[in-house]
Copies of this chain bind each other. A is one copy, B any other.
Amino acid sequence: MMRVVTFGEIMLRLSPPANTRFSQAQSYDAHYGGSESNVAAALAQFGVDARFVTRLPDNDISDGAVAGLRALGVDTSEIARGGERVGVYYLERGAGQRPSRVIYDRKNSAIATASRDNFDWKRIIGGADWFHFSGITPALGENVAEIALDAVTCAKRCGATVSCDLNYRTALWSIGDARRVMARFAPHIDIMIANETQLRDVFGDDAHFPIAATTVRGGSSADENDFAGELRIGGTVYRSRGYRLSIVDRIGGGDAFAAGLIYAQLNGYAPQDAVEFAAAAGALKHTIDGDVLLANVSEVEAVVDGGDGRVDR
């Protein structure tokens, strides 16, 4: 079995039921999610030996996150315990002309206050085939950037492929900080997931990664989107078939795409097959409540093959 390690933050997501607004909430649906844990969870369901690494405090809210990952088959044995809180994000699901909204309350989380000696990367990554992280992780603070750089360096030294989902978020850091920090990661990254605008903004015009990929999204409503994937290898661009999405949950589509791409690469898919698998994984995620793609490989393949929506009896 292939082994993948991902590193980042996992948060408690709290969302008012169905399409209700924050101001109507007498309860919140609870999910756990984060870019890198979502990738690990999807990969575990694809049958990959996926380990997610983070730092969580020693309390029941953390235990819920760990149990949830464990239920999905993710290896949680290297999650460091310490710090004071689990990051939280509040999600209001949009509808029609009303966009979904996210309020972050993630500062001072256990991972954001971690230090380099919380992680023994040689033990954690040793023997892995792949290391994945997102640009959100270094954005959590200089300390977390250093930890991530330790991980990436170690991964490269171990011969693992390194992928990064750029995910540049203006709410987390300035473009200046992003440029300065991400430049240190760039030389180690084999596969960069980002659209061309973001790539240019963060890495400048001359940046080139061996493999680049991105989701392409269009549409004017919170319920429906056009969606496809794009993979650039050398000068060639491979584009997946397009999907008209009917959206159950908008969060985690990019992470599912990343997981699909990693899976396809690990299994030696041809480029067009790889981007089709990744895009199908991303499309399928939008039909599933929560941050995580809950689907196995054959379900993704059925989407690639263009299911007709009939009942599967």
Question: Chain A interface (Cβ within 8 Å of chain B)?
Answer: 14, 17-30, 59-61, 63-64, 67-68, 70-73, 84-86, 88, 90, 92, 94-105, 107-108, 169, 171, 217, 219-225, 243-248, 250-251, 280, 283-284, 286-290, 294-295, 299, 302-303, 306-313
Contact = CB atoms under 8 A, between A and B. Distances in A.
A63 B97 contact: no
Given A28-B30, A169-B313, A220-B308, A107 B95 contact: no
A24 to B, nearest CB: 7
B309 A222 contact: yes
- Stoichiometry, as copies per complex, reads 6
A282 to B, nearest CB: 10
A95 B60 contact: no
Contacts of A247: 96
Given A26-B29, A68-B71, A71-B68, A21 B288 contact: yes
A283 to B, nearest CB: 5
Nearest to A280: B97
Contact of A61 (B90, B245, B299): B90
B67 A72 contact: yes
Closest 5 interchain pairs by CB?
Answer: A22-B60, A71-B71, A96-B246, A98-B287, A95-B287
A313 B104 contact: yes
A311 B248 contact: no
19 contacts: A14-B28, A25-B30, A26-B30, A27-B27, A28-B30, A59-B103, A67-B73, A68-B71, A70-B71, A70-B73, A71-B71, A84-B107, A96-B286, A97-B245, A97-B287, A99-B302, A100-B311, A220-B308, A221-B246
B101 A309 contact: no
